[in-house]
């Protein structure tokens, strides 16, 4: 890593007049950005991806300095980020995301004659994205929320996370430059630095949506602002998750040692600073995995947390967990030397967990997890019922146990956005079928996802056109399928033209 | 109409213990209702439709007694209501609404190896529906919100509207009976009578969504409750709309008289008690339509409003409108004899409208509308910019004027859910492409619609399954396309099976 750091000083906070300019700019950009063809916006996303890839060395160096994350992890995260931008470009070109729907006039329609109606999705308008600390690329300035909103056709203001301010400014420079060079409307993208102006932006009537990844208290505060406005706006907060993992007796028997080491690996990946970190491992009483878990945990050396605020919160979290009655620390490590920390694993039982749910079912962000023994299937189900919303829930079982496991999966499906059979919840692939969301407090909007191609849907709203002449209709709704996209015509999906 | 009225007394309010029973029942019904196949739920919707159709005479008689609406209108509304239930049944069987998406494992996926991921929509859970006064069938006990939620697989508690309590109870009896006979889980549907318990239900943690059609203040109050819960839930309020209509000089010239009479007809349809009533008609200065409008308005005889609360609100509304400075009443009629009222039409200009936007851009529910003269295209655009969200916006123009009209349509598209070219916004067809929604205050959730087949989407959330064995996957996500539905496989829509 020898690339020079181009941003050497911590940027100063956005001023009131700068914020006013940014808001005016995204507001002015909304109509021209919405007017671009989907394929043109796909070109913008690719231009941003190319610019970030070209600056990879510089960006990764900055990210390492500011986040303490390792180079390999950061390079992988940047790859994911630019892949995501390009994948969303493909989604724009495929065109299903528009949900183009055409009902030609029908005098025989069952409830009475139907006029010609044509419906599609259009952009919501300027969006404020609150970047996360733990993903300096993938959930930050040019991350998933930004990619989603731009793909939808919404100008974006990103509120930079204070954990990587120089990286944020440099990424924003690259994004703005790439957009401009690719012909995006002026004002399509801007960066806000500082807490106060970040909050102020969400209150501005020109802003039509907000998006956030972070803690429950911060997310709740912003959600309340968005919902409390004179004109309430959607607010997509991805907040807290415990990500329970249930291990059946059959799985313990078949591959207990592998599960023990996989568990510790997932808990400590990225120093436990993932929203999908498994915070609870449910194992049958008499599982005999203590030694294997402990051995795996001892092998994990100390690693550096993102920043002092995370370290302080983590220290408080494990103090609370360890202090609960009826729990036994298997291995315990508070941060030392400021940010350096090893894993903490605590043992308890389902009855203790349920009795102290307020303490033990609270997310502890960092490399800590609880191993919880359940005494029979009824205790396992009782534990599953105690959860509120989660991003993920995982079951390690044997297919021969399917009948006994089905009721557990039913309970978990009501409480999580992604259900895993085997494997570990960390590592969220950006695909068509990914769901990264879930009931509160996993997110503030369980109808949506913040990862995967359908994340774009968050920034779109439907509009119908009734008996509109073709020259005044958006191209996607012309009789001739100009864009070659899947459309629902008379209730049936087709890529055919509409017959006159 | 000779059918006997079976419900002769106003029902008593739901008690605390009755509400507790209702909430326990919908909560218990959620899992078994969700577990039904889409085709089985389609059968439930059809059973409800059949039961309502079979009782049409009795129901329409009750509705006439309680709402003062005319028999023809009510029969048409009941037809729409049962048509809607059956159409939603077809949507369930077609299966696209599940958004089934399958990403087979892919070691070559661009951001790194992808696990097998399969995603579909699942029901949100028990839903409270607040019925409207002005549609005793289509937006009431078995109306669009109920049909949507049941189709999605969500048990429903309807809070009956006090404007038609006996009809509500009788409709609920029929719904409950039909569901039971068709094999629906016990507790799938229930009725709440009374304001207090209706509000209380929305606060219950077992309730996962709310839906409402009515006034802005009432909708806002319920929205605030839903958003302010410890676990915020989606709240779909369809609230207020002005439904502006813009008439170009070309249209005045081509068919001014037809527009004048069409306008008065739409304003006074259903005694002006539609959320899509055109509250503003923008006409070019010197239009010369005053006499035609006045003549049409004089031809409309007095008609009976729904109830005293509507009449009182309407009386206050027109007093405010008529009292504004710079407006001229063309014809003015406050309710007399309690509920009987003729139309009110008021004249003004765009500068006056903009100066007194707070007064003149407030919805007046009933047969009142403003005729607003604009002086040139710039004033017309300035007026369009003054609007916040609307359910509809209409343009009467000539295709030869398309170039001048395009900027107006762009402005209106940002502010409305449905754009009409010609015609009138009253009369909302239930189709695939209908959008009945719009930015605040038209609705509290502009991403959604309360009419049309995509209304079902409001009560569904996505879940992904990762590397899940087929026997534990929902049928919709099996390799073999058991349900024969459109699915997105590897990013492409298909009805094919997934190849191993």
Q: CB A96 to CB B488 under 8 A?
A: yes
For residue B76, which residues of chain A lie inside 8 Å, CB to CB? Answer: 112
- CB contact under 8 Å between B420 and A467, yes or no, is yes
What span, in angstroms and rounded, lies between the C-alpha atoms of A466 and A322? Answer: 63
Residue among A462, A470, A477, A492 with most chain B CBs within 10 A, to mutate: A462
Which residues face B103 on adjacent strands?
B117
The pLDDT tens digits for A76-102 are 999 999 999 999 999 999 999 999 999
Residues of B in contact with A433 (CB under 8 A): 101-103, 117-119, 464, 488
* CB-nearest partner of B464 from A224, A410, A433: A433
Using an 8 Å CB-CB cutoff, list chain B residues near A485. none
Q: Which residue of A has its CA nearest to B466?
A: A420
Cis peptide, bond prior to residue B441, ω within 30 of zero: yes
Spatial distance between the Cα atoms of B163 and B136, rounded to a whole number of angstroms: 8
Residue B469 with chain A: CB contacts under 8 Å: 399, 402, 421
Across the interface, of B90, B417, B492, the residue whose CB is closest to A463 is B417
ipTM of the complex, rounded to two decimals = 0.97
Most B-contacting residue of A448, A451, A464 (CB-CB within 10 A), to test interface: A464
Residue of B nearest to A90 (CA): B491
Model pLDDT for residues A23-37, shown as the tens digit of each residue:
999 999 999 999 999
Active site residue B94: no
- Quote the CA–CA distance of B245 and B421 in Å, as a whole number: 10
- B-proximal residues of A, 144-203, CB under 8 Å: none
Domain positions in chain B are 16-239+447-459, 244-421
Which residue is catalytic, options A275, A363, A364, A379? A275
Identify the closest residue of chain B to A465 by CA–CA distance.
Answer: B419
Q: Which of residues 105-124 of B touch A (CB under 8 A)?
A: 109-112, 114-115, 117-119, 122, 124
User: pLDDT 10s digit of each residue in chain B, 500 long?
Assistant: 344 445 557 799 999 999 999 999 999 999 999 999 999 999 999 999 999 999 999 999 999 999 999 999 999 999 999 999 999 999 999 999 999 999 999 999 999 999 999 999 999 999 999 999 999 999 999 999 999 999 999 999 999 999 999 999 999 999 999 999 999 999 999 999 999 999 999 999 999 999 999 999 999 999 999 999 999 999 999 999 999 999 999 999 999 999 999 999 999 999 999 999 999 999 999 999 999 999 999 999 899 999 999 999 999 999 999 999 999 999 998 887 789 999 999 999 999 999 999 999 999 999 999 999 999 999 999 999 999 999 999 999 999 999 999 999 999 999 999 999 999 999 999 999 999 999 999 999 999 999 999 999 999 999 999 999 999 999 999 999 999 999 999 999 999 999 86
Does A462 sit within 8 Å of B449, measured CB to CB? yes
**CB within 8 Å: A433 and B463:** no
Adjacency order of strands within the sheet including A280-284: A328-331, A344-349, A368-374, A280-284, A244-247, A390-396, A416-421, B460-466, B117-123, B101-103, B487-489, B492-494
> Which residue among B200, B275, B363, B373 is the active-site one?
B275
Catalytic residue among A58, A77, A200, A238: A238
Q: Which residue of A has its CA nearest to B32?
A: A410
pLDDT for the residue numbered B459: 98
- pLDDT tens by residue, A375-415: 999 999 999 999 999 999 999 999 999 999 999 999 999 99
pLDDT of residue A284: 98
Tens of pLDDT along A110-133? 999 999 999 999 999 999 999 999
Q: Is some CB atom of chain A closer than 8 A to the CB atom of B486?
A: yes
* A275 in catalytic set: yes
pLDDT-based confidence at residue A4 (cuts at 50, 70, 90): very low
Q: How confident is the model at residue A1 (pLDDT cuts 50, 70, 90)?
A: very low
Query: In the numeric block, which tokens belong to residue A144?
Result: 């998933």
Distance CA B214, CA A140 (A): 40
Instruction: State the pLDDT at residue B6.
Output: 52
Query: Is A232:B223 a contact under the CB 8 Å cutoff?
Result: yes
- B87 CB neighbours in chain A (<8 A) are 110
Instruction: Please check whether residue A470 touches B, CB under 8 A.
Output: no
Q: What is the pLDDT of residue B10?
A: 79
C-alpha distance from A65 to closest chain B C-alpha (Å): 24
Say whether the peptide bond before residue A441 is cis (omega within 30 degrees of 0). Answer: yes
Q: Using one digit for the tens of pLDDT, what is the confidence trace for A203-252? A: 999 999 999 999 999 999 999 999 999 999 999 999 999 999 999 999 99
Question: Which chain B residue is nearest to residue A442, measuring alpha carbons?
Answer: B231
Whether residue A488 and residue B462 make contact (CB cut-off 8 A), yes or no, is no
Backbone angles phi, psi at B237, to 5 degrees: -100, 125
* B337-396 residues touching A, CB cutoff 8 A: 388-389
User: Catalytic pick from B77, B238, B363, B379?
Assistant: B238
Q: Considering only residues A338 and B282, tell me which one the structure prediction assigns the higher pLDDT.
A: B282
Taking a C-beta distance cutoff of 8 angstroms, is the pair A273, A422 a contact?
Answer: no
Q: Does B414 touch chain A (CB under 8 A)?
A: yes
Closest chain B C-alpha to A203 CA, distance in angstroms: 15
CATH code at A16-239+447-459: 3.40.605.10
User: Which of B437, B460, B464 faces A435 most closely, judged by CB atoms?
Assistant: B464
Q: How far is B402 from chain A (nearest CA, A)?
A: 7
Q: Which positions in chain A touch B97 (Cβ < 8 Å)?
A: none
CB contact under 8 A, A94 and B491: yes
Provide, as residue numbers in chain B, all residues whose Cβ is less than 8 Å from the Cβ of A454: 99, 101, 119, 462
Residue keyed to tokens 């004179």:
A230
Closest partner residue to B101 (CB to CB) among A76, A432, A492 is A432
B99 has a chain A CB within 8 A of its CB: yes
**What pLDDT, on a 0 to 100 scale, did the predictor assign at position A8?**
59
Please name the member of B103, B109, B432 whose beta carbon is closest to the beta carbon of A101.
B432
What is the model's pLDDT at position B1?
Answer: 37
CA distance A178 to A180: 5
Task: Say whether A83 and B409 touch across the interface (CB within 8 A).
Answer: no
Any B CB within 8 A of A488 CB: yes
Chain B residues within an 8 Å CB radius of A463: 413, 416-419, 435
Is B72 near chain A, with CB under 8 Å? no
Residue in A closest to B493 by C-alpha = A486
Q: Please provide the average confidence, as pLDDT, over all residues in chain A.
A: 96
Is residue B153 packed enough to be buried (19+ CB in 10 Å), middle (13-18) or exposed (0-12)? Answer: buried
- Is the confidence at residue A320, as pLDDT, over 50? yes
Q: A327 forms bridges with which residues in the sheet? A: none
Identify the architecture of domain B244-421 in CATH: 3-Layer(aba) Sandwich (3.40)
Contact across the interface for B454 and A468, Cβ inside 8 Å: no
How many residue pairs bridge chain A and chain B with CB atoms within 8 Å of each other? 257
Q: Do B410 and A464 touch (CB under 8 A)?
A: no
Question: How high is the pLDDT of residue B58?
Answer: 98
Tell me the helix, strand and coil percentages in chain B, rounded to 5: 45, 20, 40
**B17 CB burial (10 A radius; 0-12, 13-18, 19+):** exposed
CA atoms within 13 A on the CB side of B181: 13
Strand order in the sheet with B189-192: B189-192, B156-159, B127-130, B209-213, B235-238
Give whole-number Cα distances, B71 to B56, B76, B211, B388, in Å: 11, 8, 27, 35
């Amino acid at each position: 890593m020898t690339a020079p750091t181009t941003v050497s000083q911590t940027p100063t906070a956005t001023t009131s007049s700068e914020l006013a300019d940014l808001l005016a700019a995204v507001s002015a950009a909304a109509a021209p950005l919405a007017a671009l063809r989907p394929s043109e916006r796909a070109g913008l996303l690719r231009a941003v991806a190319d610019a970030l890839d070209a600056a990879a060395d510089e960006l990764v160096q900055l990210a390492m300095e500011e986040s303490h994350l390792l180079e390999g992890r950061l390079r992988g995260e940047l790859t994911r980020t630019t892949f995501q931008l390009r994948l969303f470009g493909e989604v724009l070109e495929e065109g299903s995301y528009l949900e183009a729907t055409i009902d030609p006039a029908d005098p025989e329609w069952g409830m009475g004659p139907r006029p010609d109606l044509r419906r599609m999705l259009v952009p919501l308008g300027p969006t404020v994205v609150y970047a996360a600390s733990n993903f300096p690329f993938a959930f930050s300035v040019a991350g998933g929320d930004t990619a989603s909103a731009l793909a939808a056709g919404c100008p974006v203001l990103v509120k930079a996370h204070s954990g990587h301010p120089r990286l944020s400014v440099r990424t924003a420079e690259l994004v703005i430059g790439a957009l401009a060079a690719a012909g995006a409307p002026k004002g399509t993208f801007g960066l806000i630095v500082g807490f106060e102006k970040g909050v102020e932006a969400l209150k501005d009537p020109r802003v039509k949506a907000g998006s956030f990844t972070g803690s429950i208290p911060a997310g709740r505060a912003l959600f309340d602002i968005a919902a409390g406005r004179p004109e309430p706006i959607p607010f997509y907060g991805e907040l807290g998750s415990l990500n329970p993992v249930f291990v059946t007796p059959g799985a313990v028997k078949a591959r207990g040692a592998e599960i023990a080491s996989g568990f510790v690996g997932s808990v400590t990946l990225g120093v436990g600073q993932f929203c999908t970190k498994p915070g609870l491992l449910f194992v049958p009483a008499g599982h005999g995995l203590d030694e294997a878990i402990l051995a795996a945990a001892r092998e994990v050396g100390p690693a550096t947390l993102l920043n002092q605020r995370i370290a302080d919160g983590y220290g408080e979290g494990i103090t609370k967990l360890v202090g609960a009655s009826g729990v036994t620390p298997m291995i315990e490590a508070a941060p030392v030397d400021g940010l350096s920390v090893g894993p903490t694993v605590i043992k308890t039982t389902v009855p203790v967990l349920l009795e102290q749910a307020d303490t033990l079912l609270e997310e502890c962000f960092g490399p800590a997890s609880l191993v919880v023994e359940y005494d029979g299937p009824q205790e396992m189900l009782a534990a599953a019922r105690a959860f509120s919303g989660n991003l993920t829930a995982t079951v390690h079982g044997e297919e021969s146990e399917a009948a006994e496991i089905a009721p557990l999966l039913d309970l978990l499906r009501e409480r999580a956005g992604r259900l895993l059979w085997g494997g570990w919840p960390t590592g969220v692939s950006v695909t068509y079928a990914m769901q990264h969301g879930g009931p509160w407090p996993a997110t503030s909007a369980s109808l949506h996802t913040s990862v995967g191609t359908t994340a774009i849907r968050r920034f779109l709203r439907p509009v119908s056109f009734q008996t509109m002449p073709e020259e005044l209709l958006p191209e996607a709704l012309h009789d001739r399928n100009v864009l070659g996209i899947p459309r629902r015509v008379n209730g049936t999906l087709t890529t055919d033209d509409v017959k006159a």
